[in-house]
Amino acid sequence: MAAGAALAAVTGIASTEAVECPRKDALGTSRILSVDAKTTPRVGLKSFPQTLPLADHEVVLTFDDGPHPPTTSKVLAALAQECVRATFFLIGLHASEHPDMVKRIAREGHSIGHHTFSHPFMARIPLDKAKSEIDRGIAADEMALHGTPTTTPSTQFFRFPYFEATQAELDLLQSRGIVVFGADLWASDWNEMTPEQELKLVTERLAAAGKGIILFHDPKARTAAIMPAFLRYLRENGYRVVHVVPAGTSQKSADAH
């Protein structure tokens, strides 16, 4: 944790210790990392030249395309069992259909990021339509979360569907103070495979990378199925989970969030 805090200090990103977990044998969340679009507008080595300042064996868990209650609830249960906090990039349409699940994700301490309204290929549509997808998605997520359809996100995190973006779209989000998340490694859970194959794939990739932002999809049944075993793998192999929050989020509000 000291190494992680030192890295954060160098890059101007705030780092705080996470709250205590009641289960002493749980994986837990080792620290909270506050991410600011001014200093870190885009992260994730799969898409960008820079990523979050993580120490060796530190991971950030992210989930796309939810909420999907049958599987998202299983993912949340696995995370709660290990006192682990993650970031969920929600599709606005799904959030509007399942507001109770959006509230549950936030209530259990996870960060809620945005993933457009309907998950289009953003690099293949005009900028005005792309802007509408961004704003409608944020508004739907905020409506589900807080009852107000604002286009100003309470969590300034965004991830492009398929990791496709134009420079104009990236510039737009940066101008609005929204951090664009890529990923450092994928579970590739959009491909047909068994849960066992997914677990083997993602653990091998993590062992090779040593750290990073990991991309999962909580609507995928195979991902929900492996989450307890994956978190156990992290615990047994000395990995530490880092929870990302927007800049300006205090420890107290992060806990309440």
- How many structural domains compose the chain? 1
The Cα-based distances of 105 to 1, 86, 217, 231 in angstroms read: 26, 9, 14, 18
Q: Select which of 64, 135, 141, 218 is catalytic.
A: 64
Confidence class for position 17, pLDDT limits 50, 70, 90: low
Instruction: Identify the CATH number of the domain in which residue 202 sits.
Output: 3.20.20.370
pLDDT at 186 over 50: yes
Q: Select which of 94, 110, 217, 243 is catalytic.
A: 217
pLDDT at 54 over 50: yes
At residue 35, φ and ψ (nearest 5 deg) are: -115, 130
Known catalytic residue: 114? no
- Burial of residue 39, with CB atoms counted within 10 A of its CB: 0-12 exposed, 13-18 middle, 19 or more buried: exposed
Give the structural domain span for 175: 2-256
Confidence class for position 253, pLDDT limits 50, 70, 90: very low
Residue 256, pLDDT score: 42
Nearest to 113, CA basis, from 80, 146, 78, 160: 160
Sign of the dihedral through C-alpha 229, 193, 111, 69: negative
Known catalytic residue: 141? no
Residue 12, pLDDT score: 37
Enumerate helices (H) and strands (E) in the chain, giving the number of each: 9, 11
